[in-house]
Each structure stands twice: as C-alpha cells, then as structure tokens.
Amino acid sequence: MDTLTIRRPDDWHLHLRDGAMMRAVLPETTRHFARAIIMPNLVPPVVTGADAADYRDRILSAKPRGSKFQPLMTLYLTEETQVGDLRAAAEIGLITAVKLYPAGATTNSASGVKDFTKVKRVLENMAQIGLPLLVHGEVTDPDIDIFDREAVFIDRVLDPIRRDIPGLRVVMEHVTTSDAVDYVRAGGPDLAATITTHHLVINRNHILAGGIRPHYYCLPVAKRETHRRALVAAATGTDTAFFLGTDSAPHTDTAKLQPCGCAGCFTAPNTLSILTEVFEQHGALDRLENFTSLNGPAFYRLPANDDTITLRKGEPVSYPAKIDTDDGPVTVFDPGMPLHWRVIED
C-alpha cells in the first residue's frame, strides 16, 4: 500500500499562541487539519466568554485565505470562573470545552486551580450540559517526583473529582503513562484521552541521554520506554477513547535554549508524516483514521469531517528544521527517523 486516504484530521489539543507567533504557526495546522481545540494559556489567559470571542476573531482573521479551518475555543478554568458566563458561552457554541490546569503545572498556568472545592459548582454545571473538562493531569506538589506526577494526579485529583461529579465528561490531555492509559480504558464513555505525536516517538532517554536536548522537553515530560509503548498500543489499538491532540507548542529557540527553558514540542508541520510512519511500523495503517479523524469527533459529539486527505509513501520527506516568525525561529520537532509518508492532497 503506498497511498492512504483518510477523513480530514482534527487536532484536539493545540497551542496557537497570539500575535506574530500565531500568524507564523497557524498555516502549519490549517494546511491539513479541519478543526483544532485551541488551548487558552495565553498571557493573560482566556478566562471569559468575551476573551474567547476576541481570541477566536484574531485566529479567524489570521487564517490563510480560503481556509475552512475552524478553531474550537476553550476557557481556562480559574477559581473565579462564573457559571453564568461559562454556560452562556457554551449555549451559543462559542466554547467547546474548558481547560483545567493545576496552578503551576506548566507554561502560563499561574492562574490555574489550587483548591478544587472552589470549582465544584462550575464542574457540576458542566456535567449538566455535557461540556467536556480537559485536564492537564499532573500534580504540582514539589514533593512528588516529576515522573510520577501524572499517576499521582489520577489518584489524588482526577478520580475523586469524577466520583464526586458523576456524568462529568473528561479528556485527560497528553497522557504519558501506562497508568493513565489503564485508567482511561476502564473509565467508561465519559472519559477519553488525547495522545501527542511526540510522546509516541520519544522516551526520557531522548531528552537526557548523551546530552540534554531542550527541543524534546515538554510537559508532561516523556517517561520511560514501557510507557511510550503503552501509548503506542493505545493510539494504534481499537479503543475509541484515544485520539490525537498534538499539543504542538511553539516557543522561540531563544525561549527553549535557556538555563531554564520552556516546555513544548512544535509538531504541527510534520505530525501527519510522523503518525503515519508510527502506525505503519505497528501494522496499524488501517486504524490511523480512527485516531486522527473519527474517535475525537465521536467523543465531542461532533460530525467527522466530510472531506479527506491523501498520504503517499515514497522517498524520505524532509521538513524544515525551523520555521521563521517575527519573534524569532521556532525549531520543528525532529522525530529522529526517516519519514516516508507525505500529504499529497488537501
């Protein structure tokens, strides 16, 4: 098989940023993806319906001419989030989900939640209207080892919330451990997970062995190889609870290459080539479409896209090492293996 036609993919977790950075990275996503869930961790974050409307307008006006790309907006949950504002934004279809960052867990998460009892009423309302909660599933307790933070979050935070608020629909974002995969598999129809492109490819050795590689540093940090294998099994398997959220998270090289550098892998340009390669390696090309284009819409109760893209296999494809932005260059994720599949029809 050397061509593969699939329904047009969606990206269920994307950082587009704002301003010059957004203008530079947006075409990398709109080229192949029909829709994306847009992360709200701007500075300041997208916390109200009005913020989301303004941000959506900025995205739509930066979108390449003729593109039908649809940004699916999210609100950043804070302890001050107002139920009325959130419900109104959901009712008019302005927002598709709400993002929960534990305070301090990652880039621009200082306004996140510290005391989960303070957001209980908001979460109950979300359960009533079926609005999904997207969780950055890591505890921030400095006593917890960074490689254990996802597993501990499930036990200490996520499972208690889900028991407390039955019917709350939850997506565990960018899962990185077999613990999370097992939890999602057992979680029933109201629980799903996104998996990034880079976590299917790298383990923690890629970041740390033989020299430190800041472009592989992201959060949650990549774990050991057994966990990466569990993620590949979940993505390429038959469980519809797993779907693509690239977490493509551009930072300038200046911001990455610091004594304290930013977390994030920029995968938008080459994600589909990488995923197709990974699925082929695992004999699962026939399930790529489920992961990129069908399971996500099914969970979000949206129709799958009508149109298709075609990938063709051939000589290794090269991608630029960096893209230029008016803020400075941004390094494209290097999967460390030849990529043979390219998107030929949009």
Residues involved in catalysis: 247
Q: Which stretch binds Zn ion (CB under 5 A): 25-33, 81-89, 243-251, 304-312?
A: 243-251
Name which of 242 and 266 has its Cβ closer to ligand DOR.
Answer: 266
Residues binding Zn ion: number (CB under 5 A)? 1
Name which of 207 and 298 has its Cβ closer to ligand DOR.
Answer: 207
Cα distance from N-terminal residue to C-terminal residue, the chain: 20
Which residues ranging from 223 to 282 are in contact with ligand DOR (CB under 6 A)? 247, 249, 262-264
150 lines the binding site for Zn ion (CB under 5 A): no
| Least Cβ distance, residue 68 to ligand DOR (angstroms) | 26
Residue among 202, 219, 232, 268 that touches ligand DOR (CB under 6 A): 219
Name which of 4 and 134 has its Cβ closer to Zn ion.
Answer: 134
The C-alpha atoms of residue 169 and residue 7 are separated, in whole angstroms, by 25
| Least Cβ distance, residue 201 to Zn ion (angstroms) | 17
| Least Cβ distance, residue 228 to ligand DOR (angstroms) | 16
Name which of 106 and 293 has its Cβ closer to ligand DOR.
Answer: 106
Residues binding ligand DOR: number (CB under 6 A)? 12
The values of phi and psi at residue 36, to 5°, are -150, 145
| Least Cβ distance, residue 221 to ligand DOR (angstroms) | 8
**Contact partner, 180, from ligand DOR, Zn ion, none, Cβ < 5-8 Å per class:** none
Asked if 263 and 106 touch (Cβ cutoff 8 Å), the reply is: yes
Residue among 10, 179, 247, 334 that touches Zn ion (CB under 5 A): 247
Q: Which residue has the tokens 């460390």?
A: 336
> Residues 88-117: x/- map of binding to ligand DOR (CB under 6 A)?
------------------xx----------
75 lines the binding site for ligand DOR (CB under 6 A): no
Residue among 28, 35, 38, 41 that touches ligand DOR (CB under 6 A): 41
| Cβ neighbour number for residue 286 with a 10 Å cutoff | 12
CA 1 to chain centre: 29
For residue 106, CA distances in Å to 65, 154, 267 come to 33, 17, 18
Asked if 117 and 124 touch (Cβ cutoff 8 Å), the reply is: no
Q: Which stretch binds Zn ion (CB under 5 A): 68-76, 87-95, 242-250, 283-291?
A: 242-250
> Residues 278-317: x/- map of binding to ligand DOR (CB under 6 A)?
----------------------------------------
Reading phi first (left if > 0) and then psi (alpha if -120 to 50, else beta), residue 14 is in: beta
| Least Cβ distance, residue 267 to ligand DOR (angstroms) | 11
The C-alpha atoms of residue 266 and residue 330 are separated, in whole angstroms, by 8
56 lines the binding site for ligand DOR (CB under 6 A): no
Binding site for ligand DOR (CB under 6 A): 15, 41, 106-107, 136, 218-219, 247, 249, 262-264
